[in-house]
Amino acid sequence: MTVPLAPEQTPEPALEAVSAPSLESAPGSAAEPAPTAPGPVPAPFVCSRPHRVAVVAARPVSMFNLGICEMLFSKVEVDGGPGYEVQLCTAEPGTVATSGGAGIVIGGGLDVVAWADTVIVAGTGARMDVDPRVLTALRAAARDGKRIASICTGAFALAEAGLLDGRRATTYWAYTEELAGRYPEVALEPDVLFVQDGQVLTASGYAAGIDLCLHLIRTDYGAAVANTVARLALVAPVRHGGQAQFTDTPLPAESGSSLAGTRAWAMTRLDQPLTLADLARHAAVSVRTLSRRFHAETGLSPLQWLLHQRLERARELLETTTLPVDQVARASGLGTADSLRAHLTRRVGLTPSDYRATFTRLPVT
């Protein structure tokens, strides 16, 4: 069953889960492909009230999924006030069983879904038996043009409701074969952190829910706000949805061969030319070893990671300062205004000037 978008709803662009060639990677470095998100970036949330988020708990629900939504969205402040209002809801308000065996009291019913701007379905252990009342609420939300997302096995509820038919989607890697077998109409992408296809987003398991929430915050309020929330929550900055869910090799111990120190060193030098040799020299390893360990720890090559961090720095500067575009390019390590324009347009579909006009956090003078 396919549920159509509301007629007045303009779908948000899909977040690509593949790599595309980049024009240049970093000053002094060889060109290298980097993940991109082509197409126009959705406009930020503009309203006199906080953005309303309903988190649907289908029993037995994942407490972790519920917790990360509250933790991250509650840390968003815009112009001195809260950026989000979050309410938990369930088909039968009261004590809701969790996947860990505990119970959590949820007072909101599914009428909260109609109240919300964004609806997030938390992971559940009931993949085979989604409450029909939840399905009805999700279909109504889709017809109303609401943004709908799932974390982990919450994707099964979206698929059962018909919201993923013909759409790109993902779920926790351990359940991808099950989802593909039960819902062949879904264009499953099993190895990514999260996917956005129009107004519908799906995330894989556990920490990928954090990445999804940060992506939603960045979409609504910009990179500077999302990165501030990440720092407050002591989690990694926004990662691309196209990063792999897991790596084939175990991560090295932080006290041993981790490259966290080298990444921190590079973050303080984004405005300077940095090559693979520079990074390898700081890490006291060969370039080959650097590249292998870097990919194991981050899911990206060193140059892809550098480009991502430089673009994040440029976006923050565009949002929070009045620096001319050429100065933003130099301060973020992208070299020239033309280079910044090319990379930013490829990544989010907006020129630097358009991005600043859309996401600026500076008061209007």
Q: With contact defined as beta carbons under 8 Å apart, do 291 and 257 qualify?
A: no
What CATH number should be reported for the domain holding residue 169? Answer: 3.40.50.880
Tell me the pLDDT of the chain averaged across its residues. Answer: 82
The reply to whether 190 and 266 lie within a common domain is no
| d(C-alpha 17, C-alpha 49), whole Å | 33
End-to-end CA distance of the chain: 50
What CATH number should be reported for the domain holding residue 279? Answer: 1.10.10.60
Place of tokens 């620096």: 323
pLDDT class for 237, splitting at 50, 70, 90? low
| d(C-alpha 16, C-alpha 18), whole Å | 6
Paired with 256 in beta bridges are none
For 166, half-sphere exposure in the C-beta direction (CA atoms, 13 angstrom radius) is: 6
Of 151 and 9, the one with more pLDDT = 151
pLDDT class for 9, splitting at 50, 70, 90? very low
The answer to the question of residue 12 being in a domain is no
The answer to the question of residue 86 being in a domain is yes
The reply to whether 210 and 161 lie within a common domain is yes
Total domains in the fold of the chain: 2
Instruction: Look up residue 14 and give its amino acid.
Output: A
pLDDT of 143 above 80: yes
The reply to whether 92 and 200 lie within a common domain is yes
Domain span at residue 52 reads: 42-232
| d(C-alpha 298, C-alpha 43), whole Å | 29
| d(C-alpha 158, C-alpha 203), whole Å | 12
- Identify the CA nearest to 335 among candidates 327, 346, 345: 327
The reply to whether 198 and 271 lie within a common domain is no
The reply to whether 148 and 269 lie within a common domain is no
pLDDT class for 224, splitting at 50, 70, 90? confident
Catalytic residue among 69, 89, 152, 213: 152
The reply to whether 228 and 315 lie within a common domain is no
- 3-class state of residue 109 by DSSP: coil
The answer to the question of residue 62 being in a domain is yes
Q: With contact defined as beta carbons under 8 Å apart, do 341 and 352 qualify?
A: yes
The reply to whether 50 and 154 lie within a common domain is yes
Write the pLDDT tens digit of every residue in 318-365: 988 999 999 999 999 999 999 999 999 988 888 999 888 877 777 654
The answer to the question of residue 29 being in a domain is no
The answer to the question of residue 72 being in a domain is yes
Residues contacting residue 269 through CB under 8 Å, at least 6 positions apart: none
pLDDT of 215 above 60: yes
- Least confident span in 25-39, 136-150, 220-234, 237-251: 25-39
The answer to the question of residue 182 being in a domain is yes
CA distances from 138 to 88, 116, 291 (A): 15, 12, 43
- Least confident span in 71-85, 238-252, 338-352: 238-252
The whole model's pTM is what? 0.68
The answer to the question of residue 199 being in a domain is yes
The reply to whether 290 and 355 lie within a common domain is yes
pLDDT class for 256, splitting at 50, 70, 90? very low
The question of whether 152 is a catalytic residue gets the answer yes
pLDDT at res. 10: 36
The answer to the question of residue 255 being in a domain is no
The reply to whether 70 and 106 lie within a common domain is yes
Percent of the chain with pLDDT over 70: 80
Q: Output the CA torsion sign for 323, 211, 71, 199.
A: positive
The reply to whether 331 and 225 lie within a common domain is no
pLDDT of 11 above 90: no
DSSP string, 262-276: HHHHHHTTTTS---H
The reply to whether 217 and 312 lie within a common domain is no
The reply to whether 53 and 93 lie within a common domain is yes
| d(C-alpha 215, C-alpha 236), whole Å | 12
pLDDT at res. 236: 67
